[in-house]
């Protein structure tokens, strides 16, 4: 061991620096649930848009989840090849023994391709979860949700939870879609939601992307304690939306981001 | 596990470089940070080695660039199941920084921390022996901000959440302390070849 004098007594009790942004995780994650693969039976397929469908699964031993969490799903081919993907959970926690995923049909996607062209009720897949406590929202703090495309999926779990439990904590959703027919869950939105359309919009609604004015309005309309912001979408969208939030004064450590490639 | 009815997967050739459960992302490089991408200028960037070291050391951008260069060419693996082959990162071997700060005999673990406040824990043995780098170039170009530029840690033999973006420092400890994702349910070590994705794996 070095006898250098600069070695201070404080150094010998060194501890890890505290994580500064949006931590600790909102919940403790069950290690056992996260590590255990379970059989899930597809019970229902609902078309949401021309490119997205919701897949409902019976998972009898599901330990429950919080809105915002995701799971890992795997498919196995006859030669033993396994494909696994992370998907956000769309359903609220109070859906005993069932979880729902809403999947885009990705061009050439081997897992989403199977779901959209082969899967039918009665098929079995395996999944593990729920995973990660970071993006979870227990329904305790005012939440400002911003999503684009299928990035709305974990946010919808939060909206449904809010509704199912009659929560009074403030909740707002800003959701971006290319066109009205591509807006996932369109029939379920209420006064909490502002839809934004980037390519074509219903008559009387402007076409454009999520902008500083949208964010400024929601921040001005926020509770005195401010919002917890949850952003979900492609990386490009997440960069854009999180930058708007920061520029509008939302603290960096109260922004949680879930990006997909 | 049972075979999934009607699932063949995409056409594939055997690839010994692909850890279990991973797929080849080819030209894609998904971005998976939980925090807002910082606007961190090279003039603001510093890298510190502290904790259980003989001498706490901090390097600024120019001082770090004056150290002997080192590059990594090989593969990287993300816990979200993509892998990327034949990438090249250039910077300085972490051994170079550690040799100058001189870890004490008690140091067994480390926490890497970022300018954003991100943290991740590693056994010290995973950071030494030419297995970890501080890098500022990707494919002979400056590392993009969304991928951790101006500089990040890379520990390519572990899942990539261990390779802290916007690296600010390495603190050496005599015990293991979970970092950000590890507190959120991820495995403490993250070896892709053993599929150490989540706690309990």
Answer whether B15 touches A (CB < 8 Å).
Answer: no
Name which of B172, B180, B185 is nearest A131 (Cβ-Cβ): B185
Please judge whether B185 and A259 are an interchain contact, meaning their C-beta atoms are less than 8 angstroms apart. no
**CA-to-CA distance for A51 and B132, rounded, in angstroms?**
42
Between residues A19 and A124, the one the model is more confident about: A124
Q: Measuring CA to CA, how many Å separate A55 from each of A66, A185, A253, A261, B10?
A: 18, 13, 34, 21, 21
Q: Model confidence at A11, in pLDDT bands (50, 70, 90)?
A: very low
Q: What is the pLDDT of residue B83?
A: 96
Q: What is the pLDDT of residue A131?
A: 87
Q: What is the mean pLDDT of chain B?
A: 95
Q: Measuring CA to CA, how many Å separate B104 from each of B51, B95, B134, B175?
A: 9, 14, 21, 13
Q: What is the pLDDT of residue A23?
A: 46
Distance to chain A for B113, nearest Cα, Å: 7
Average pLDDT value for residue range B170-189: 93
The DSSP call for residue A180 is G
For the record, the structure tokens of B200 come out as 């309990």
Q: Strand A98-104 relative to strand A52-58: parallel, antiparallel, unpaired?
A: antiparallel
CB–CB of A86/A36 below 8 Å? Answer: no
Distance to chain B for A183, nearest Cα, Å: 24
Answer whether residue A27 shows pLDDT above 60.
Answer: no
Q: 235-254 in A: which are within 8 Å (CB) of B?
A: 235, 238-239, 242-243, 245-246, 252-253
Between residues A17 and B41, the one the model is more confident about: B41
Q: Residue B188's CB: how many other CB atoms inside 10 A?
A: 17
Name which of A35, A110, A255 is nearest B36 (Cβ-Cβ): A255
Q: What is the pLDDT of residue A34?
A: 75
Q: 43-102 in B: which are within 8 Å (CB) of A?
A: 50-56, 80-82, 102
**CA-to-CA distance for B189 and B201, rounded, in angstroms?**
10
The DSSP call for residue B193 is G
Q: Which residue of A has its CA nearest to B19?
A: A82
Three-state DSSP class for residue A102: strand
CB–CB of A39/A129 below 8 Å? Answer: no
Answer whether residue A26 shows pLDDT above 60.
Answer: no
For the record, the structure tokens of B185 come out as 């349910």
As for the ipTM of the complex, it is: 0.88
Answer whether residue A62 shows pLDDT above 80.
Answer: yes
Please judge whether B201 and A134 are an interchain contact, meaning their C-beta atoms are less than 8 angstroms apart. no
Average pLDDT value for residue range A153-170: 96
CB–CB of B90/B140 below 8 Å? Answer: yes
Answer whether residue B14 shows pLDDT above 80.
Answer: no
Q: Which class for A122: exposed (0-12), middle (13-18), buried (19 or more C-beta within 10 A)? A: exposed
Please judge whether B82 and A24 are an interchain contact, meaning their C-beta atoms are less than 8 angstroms apart. no
Answer whether A78 touches B (CB < 8 Å).
Answer: yes
Q: Would you say how long chain B is, in residues?
A: 201
Q: Looking at beta carbons, which residues of chain A come within 8 Å of B186?
A: 132
Q: What is the pLDDT of residue A1?
A: 38
Answer whether residue A25 shows pLDDT above 60.
Answer: no
Answer whether residue B70 shows pLDDT above 90.
Answer: yes
Residue of A5, A7, A11 to mutate for B, most B C-beta atoms under 10 A: A11
What pLDDT digit, counting tens, does each position of A97-134 carry? Answer: 999 999 999 888 899 999 999 999 999 999 999 988 88
Q: Looking at beta carbons, which residues of chain A come within 8 Å of B37?
A: 239, 242
The alpha carbon of residue A152 and the mean position of all alpha carbons in its chain are separated, in whole angstroms, by 7
CB–CB of B185/A29 below 8 Å? Answer: yes
Q: Residue A97's CB: how many other CB atoms inside 10 A?
A: 11
Q: What angle do CA B74, B75, B80 make, to 5 degrees?
A: 165
Average pLDDT value for residue range A46-67: 95
Q: Model confidence at B10, in pLDDT bands (50, 70, 90)?
A: confident
Q: What is the pLDDT of residue B19?
A: 94
What pLDDT digit, counting tens, does each position of A240-257 carry? Answer: 999 999 999 999 999 999
CB–CB of A136/A88 below 8 Å? Answer: no
Q: Looking at beta carbons, which residues of chain B come within 8 Å of A251?
A: none
Name which of B10, B104, B180 is nearest A1 (Cβ-Cβ): B104
Q: Which residue of A has its CA nearest to B34?
A: A257
Answer whether B118 touches A (CB < 8 Å).
Answer: yes
* Kind plus residue range of the DSSP H or E element containing B95: helix B94-101
Q: What is the mean pLDDT of chain A?
A: 90
The backbone region for B96, taken as left when phi is positive above 0, alpha when psi lies in -120 to 50, beta otherwise, is alpha
Q: What is the pLDDT of residue A22?
A: 54
CB–CB of B107/B173 below 8 Å? Answer: yes
């Amino acid at each position: 061991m070095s006898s250098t004098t600069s070695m201070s007594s404080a150094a010998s009790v060194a501890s890890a620096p505290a994580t500064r942004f949006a931590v600790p995780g909102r919940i403790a994650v069950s290690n056992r649930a996260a590590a255990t693969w379970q059989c899930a039976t597809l019970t229902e397929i609902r078309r949401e848009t021309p490119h997205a469908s919701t897949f409902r699964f019976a998972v009898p031993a599901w330990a429950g989840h919080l809105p915002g969490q995701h799971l890992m799903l795997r498919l196995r081919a006859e030669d033993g090849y396994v494909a696994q993907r992370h998907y956000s959970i769309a359903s609220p926690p109070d859906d005993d023994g069932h979880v729902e995923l809403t999947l885009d049909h990705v061009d050439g996607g081997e897992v989403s391709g199977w779901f959209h062209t082969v899967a039918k009720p009665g098929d079995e897949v395996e999944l593990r979860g729920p995973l990660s406590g970071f993006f979870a929202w227990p329904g305790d703090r005012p939440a400002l949700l911003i999503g684009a495309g299928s990035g709305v999926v974990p946010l919808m779990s939060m909206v449904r939870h809010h509704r199912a439990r009659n929560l009074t904590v403030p909740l707002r959703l800003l959701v971006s879609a290319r066109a009205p027919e591509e807006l996932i869950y369109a029939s379920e939105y209420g006064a909490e939601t502002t839809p934004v359309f980037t390519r074509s919009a219903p008559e009387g609604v402007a076409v454009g992307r999520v902008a500083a004015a949208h964010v400024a309005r929601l921040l001005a309309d926020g509770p005195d304690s401010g919002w917890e912001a949850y952003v979900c979408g492609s990386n490009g969208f997440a960069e854009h939306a999180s930058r708007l939030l920061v520029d509008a004064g939302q603290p960096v450590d109260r922004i949680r981001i879930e990006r997909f490639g | 596990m049972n075979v999934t009815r009607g699932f063949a997967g995409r056409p594939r050739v055997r690839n010994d470089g692909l850890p279990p459960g991973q797929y080849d992302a080819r030209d894609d490089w998904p971005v998976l940070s939980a925090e807002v991408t910082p606007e961190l200028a090279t003039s603001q960037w510093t890298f510190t080695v502290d904790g259980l070291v003989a001498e706490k050391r901090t390097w600024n951008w120019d001082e770090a660039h004056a150290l002997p260069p080192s590059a990594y060419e090989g593969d990287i693996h993300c816990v979200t199941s993509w892998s990327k082959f034949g990438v090249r990162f250039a910077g300085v071997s972490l051994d170079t920084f550690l040799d100058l700060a001189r870890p004490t005999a008690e140091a067994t673990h480390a926490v890497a921390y970022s300018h954003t406040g991100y943290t991740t824990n590693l056994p010290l043995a995973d950071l030494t022996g030419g297995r970890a780098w501080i890098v500022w170039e990707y494919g002979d170009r400056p590392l993009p901000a969304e991928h951790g530029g101006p500089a990040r840690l890379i520990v390519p033999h572990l899942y990539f959440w261990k390779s802290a973006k916007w690296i600010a420092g390495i603190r050496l400890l005599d015990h293991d302390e979970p970092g950000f994702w590890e507190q959120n349910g991820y495995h403490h070590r993250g070896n892709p070849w053993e599929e150490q994705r989540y706690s309990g794996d």
